[in-house]
Amino acid sequence: MWSGTPTRQEMDAAREWFESHFVQPLQDTEAALPFSLTYGGESACPQTWQCRSDGDQTFVFTDQQTGLRVRADVMCFDDFPAVEWVLHLENTGDTDTPIIADLQPLDLACPHLGPNTVLHWSKGSDCDIEDFAPQQATFYNQWTRAIGSALGRSSHQALPFFNLESGDHGMVGAIGWSGSWQAEFTREQEGFRVRAGMPRTHLCLHPQESIRTPRILLLFWQGEPLHGHNMLRRLIVHHHTPRPGGQLLQAPVCNAVWGENTAAQQIAKARWWVDSELPLEYFWIDAGWYGDGAFREDSTVFNSEWAGHVGNWWPNRGPYPEGLAPVGNALREMGLGFVLWFEPERVREGTYFTREHPEWLLGPIGPNYLFNLGLPDARAALTELVSGIITEAGVTCYRQDFNTDPAPFWNAADAPDRVGMGEIRHIEGLYAMWDELLERHPGLVIDNCSSGGRRIDLETVSRSIPLWRSDYQCFPGFDPVGMQGQTQGLSRWVPLSAGACDRPDTYAFRSALSPGMVITTNIFERDPVEFAPPDWLRRMMEQHQRVRPLMYGDFYPLLPYSLDNEGWAAWQWHRPDLGEGCVVAIRRPQSAIAGIEAAVRGLDEAVAYEVEDLDSGRVETAQGAELAAGFTIRIDERSGTRLLVYREA
């Protein structure tokens, strides 16, 4: 039970759960819904209100006294043992509703989770070598454990995913909300309870006003926790991954450079890749391209005033006298996509919006304002501005960064009877803006960055891909072990992301192997010099092209997670539909161990496989049973790697 293929028993269990928690409460007021709220100071029981079903998977509960309507839009998947829902609350009355508080879109008793239940989750991104590190806690007795985001960004502190293991079965959960969330897990005397939602809701709804809640997904597994992880990966690929132009998103290979370079320099850098016949797909211009600051020949991310100009969204006429169109046109002629960095939600004091439209802003806190995406007019104007630059410059990947904590802005703006409303409107506005950009620009890719990977959740992965999953790699000479840890921790939950390589070194490149790759050749330097010997870089990139399709499959850690430089790291991606997979093995710089035993997962033990070493070209044949039992991987040099590809013979 290692693969991500659901069983009939799991599918039946998920359907039964859906029937008992959404269908049955329409007929039985004693049946419990999987969400909760307090209403007017008392615990609400929506199944005792007027209930109806609008279609097979839409359930509506209306309090006839006040007009509050709660609609649950539910998806019971027919290809995975999972149920997903989002709540919409609407005031259909003529006066304000009583206070809605402690709104928990997930509030669930779990009698199937027995003693010694283990909670698995991962850290979020915090610009640290331990970003996305796997975590676990065991509930032996009555105990409560809470995890959640910090200061308003969904994967700052903890990823909004969890896996509850109870013996040979369990439940994976995912939260779709790009702001503040908290999940609480409690071992009670009578069983286990899970609650999740925004940590602060205490609000009334005005007449005809409506809000939505965080999205909740539960997936039920039997066997091993990794089986649940891999089913989640497959579900996200099938149902929560963008499809630009109608095709499943291919995570791109990018060259990221600093924005405060001249247009001619940027074009020359891109031209080097094309002339060197390297399989680059996107050229990425990061911060520093905008505003009115004096152009600096020696500009870098560390000495420039790039942060002081966020809010002035026009090309700086010093380095870009004709705007960005010449760069975009040149990239298109070279056959390259164009990634362009923005940070529209943070507005610096003294910039355009603070002068012309202060009514669109929250704050300030320090020198920063928050652009209020919850205001429809403000959001429409910002969408028009960004869309115009995308069109004029020929941008094919819109990179949205977010380098401030929004929760203090929202909290300061909320009235006592509207606590949580500022955040709700902002997050709703974020989704509306992204959805409109995707509709206006067919084929557009969105790169989701928020001080690195601090806004990764079920809603954002449905619209975007995290190409810069941590700011840990912002600093030159970062330890590739941190990149290895990011892949090991994040890949359990999120199939598509990108690693970053900043040096011409095979150990660093293999440490960054991910579905997408970001080669940060000149993000800190300005000269368009050769980043690496083209032959070496071509070999690395072609190997990545070879294994990239395999990374859309199941993921298996082959060694326990560790950041110890005296150890090894090894993991596997497997595509059972193709009969192929790959193994990445890494011997770290201080390791005294020259070999490990690796047991490859997910193989058909009765089938023979060809195993190819992509460095030596050597091909050997072995039975699936032999590979599953364990085989030796040897790396003689420290800071060494091996990349093995296998396929059914």
Q: pLDDT tens digits, residue range 139-181? A: 988 899 999 999 999 999 999 999 999 999 999 999 999 999 9
Which residues of the chain does CATH 3.20.20.70 include?
Answer: 252-549
Q: In the predicted model, is pLDDT for residue 549 greater than 60?
A: yes
Contact 6, 231 (CB under 8 A): yes
Contact 552, 605 (CB under 8 A): no
Of 437, 454, 453, whose CA–CA distance to 397 is shortest?
437
Contact 123, 133 (CB under 8 A): yes
480-496 tens-digit pLDDT: 999 999 999 999 999 99
**pTM of whole model > 0.85?**
yes
> Quick count: other Cβ atoms within 10 Å of Cβ 267?
19
Which pair of structure tokens corresponds to residue 469?
């999953």
Residues 6 or more apart whose CB falls under 8 angstroms from that of 63 comprise 39, 44, 46, 49, 50, 69
Half-sphere exposure of 99 (CA within 13 A, CB side): 16
Average pLDDT over residues 553-563: 97
Question: What secondary structure does DSSP assign to 189-235, as a single string?
Answer: TTEEEEEEE-S--EE---TT-EEE--EEEEEEEES-HHHHHHHHHHH
450-460 tens-digit pLDDT: 999 999 999 99
Amino acid at 8: R
Question: What secondary structure does DSSP assign to 538-604, as a single string?
Answer: HHHHHHHHHHGGGGGSEEEESS-----TTSEEEEEEEETTTTEEEEEEEE-TT----EEEE---S--
**DSSP element (H, E) containing 68:** strand 68-76
C-alpha Rg value of the chain to the nearest Å: 25
Residues 6 or more apart whose CB falls under 8 angstroms from that of 10 comprise 81, 220, 221, 222
Query: 530 falls in which pLDDT band (50, 70, 90)?
Result: low
Three-class secondary structure of residue 640 per DSSP: strand
Residues 6 or more apart whose CB falls under 8 angstroms from that of 636 comprise 594
CA separation, residue 544 to residues 242, 498, 514, 643 (Å): 21, 12, 8, 10
The CATH class of 558-648 is mainly beta
How far apart CA 447 and CA 256 sit, in angstroms, is 13
How far apart CA 322 and CA 412 sit, in angstroms, is 41
Average pLDDT, the chain: 95
Three-class SS of 321-367? CCCCHHHHHHHHHHCCEEEEEECCCEEECCCHHHHHCHHHEEEEECC
Residue 170 C-alpha from the chain's centroid? 23
326-368 tens-digit pLDDT: 999 999 999 999 999 999 999 999 999 999 999 999 999 999 9
Which residues of the chain does CATH 2.60.40.1180 include?
Answer: 558-648
Which phi and psi angles does 158 have, rounded to 5°?
A: -145, 145
How far apart CA 31 and CA 51 sit, in angstroms, is 13
Q: What is the CATH number of domain 252-549?
A: 3.20.20.70
CATH architecture of residue range(s) 8-239: Distorted Sandwich (2.70)
Strands (E), 455-560: 498-501, 516-522, 554-557
The partner residues of 500 in beta bridges, in order of sequence, read 518
The partner residues of 636 in beta bridges, in order of sequence, read none
35-92 tens-digit pLDDT: 999 999 999 999 999 999 998 899 999 999 999 999 999 999 999 999 999 999 999 9
Q: Which residue has the tokens 């006429």?
A: 317
171-228 tens-digit pLDDT: 999 999 999 999 999 998 878 999 999 999 999 999 999 999 999 999 999 999 999 9
Contact 155, 123 (CB under 8 A): no
Three-class secondary structure of residue 261 per DSSP: coil
Three-class secondary structure of residue 520 per DSSP: strand
Of 331, 460, 443, 452, whose CA–CA distance to 403 is shortest?
452
408-424 tens-digit pLDDT: 999 999 999 999 999 99
Which residues of the chain does CATH 2.70.98.60 include?
Answer: 8-239
Question: What secondary structure does DSSP assign to 400-457, as a single string?
Answer: E---S--HHHHHHH--TTEETHHHHHHHHHHHHHHHHHHHHSTT-EEEE-BTBBSS-S
